[in-house]
Amino acid sequence: MDGSYLAEFLLARGYEVHGILRRSSSFNTGRIEHLYQNPQAHTEGNMKLHYGDLTDSTCLVKIINQVKPTEIYNLGAQSHVKISFELAEYTANVDGVGTLRLLDAIKTCGLTNSVKFYQASTSELYGKVQEIPQKETTPFYPRSPYGAAKLYAYWIVVNFREAYNMFAVNGILFNHESPRRGSNFVTRKISRSVAKIHLGQLESFSLGNLDSKRDWGHANDYVEAMWLMLQQEEPEDFVIATGEVHSVREFVEKAFKRVGKTIVWDGKDEKEVGRCQETGVVHVKVDPKYFRPTEVDYLQGDSTKAYQKMGWKPKVTFEELVKEMVDADIELMKKNPNA
């Protein structure tokens, strides 16, 4: 998701963009298809793709040596928090050691003094939050294998910055969503399901913790912040967030409001359901299989530093984000109910 918005952003500024693509037996370029010079024939223009993987240091050295980039944005990760409990070792390998492999590749290619490196850090580093709101100086307390892997990545970036004087920064981005979000992330699952219910393709769907509270922004706003971090005089880490908090429950209510349905809640814990006030039909259920073994209850970012030093602030409101996601999924499901 972020890679597609960032590629658009950079191409619009005249950059030549190189992307690393994992080999897959099915097409996995859906979110960047429109950026090809000829989308039908997959002809490359200023966006060029290379097969590679964050678990393969040889290919990273080869690509970096060939391209000799001026900016590297590491957005690659196994980024699903719940799945990281099932794929803990893989998550550590890609999200933690993968970051080291990239930094080492820059060093091996002798580009330490010419490359600017951006690392996608995450609000999941704060986990069991030590203060509200969370800012650059807030102590970390990750609550998942994903958060723990990203913690290693965060500190190895700081280490390379201090040890080799590399322009390397961490963007500690809070949750950011869009119509391009992967379908198994909670916000997109909600917008897709609400669209299907609206079109009569689905009756109900299940979620995990309805009372998780998150600071949600739009991915498009956040990629601009990534770029701005690499345009600063000095390499520094920044928190990027809206400062506003909403629960999963609220996201559900706003999404249904968009299609003219009011959701009322009955029962509690895993017996809780969300029904349509107008029809009495149950549309939302709770399934404990979606609960995380260790939950992150409340994330709220303070991006004052980003505003003061880079002039960055979010443009898209929570309401606009929900509306855009639901509207996009209604269009998608009209065209292809199986999407």
Tokens 């520094």 appear where? 236
For 129, list phi and psi in degrees, rounded to 5.
Answer: -60, 140
In the sheet where 273-276 sits, what is the strand order? 205-207, 282-286, 273-276, 263-266
CA dist 140 → 130, 143, 222, 330 (Å): 8, 10, 21, 39
Render the burial of 166-191: b for 16+ CB within 10 Å, e for the rest: bbbbbbbbbbbbbbbbeeebbbbbbb
For 336, list phi and psi in degrees, rounded to 5.
Answer: -150, 95
201/98 Cα distance (integer angstroms): 41
Catalytic site positions: 122, 124, 146
Beta pairing class for 282-286 and 238-240: unpaired
100/87 Cα distance (integer angstroms): 19
In DSSP terms, 177 is beta-bridged to: 218
Which amino acid appears at position 4 of this protein? S
Is 104 in contact with 57 (CB distance < 8 Å)?
A: yes
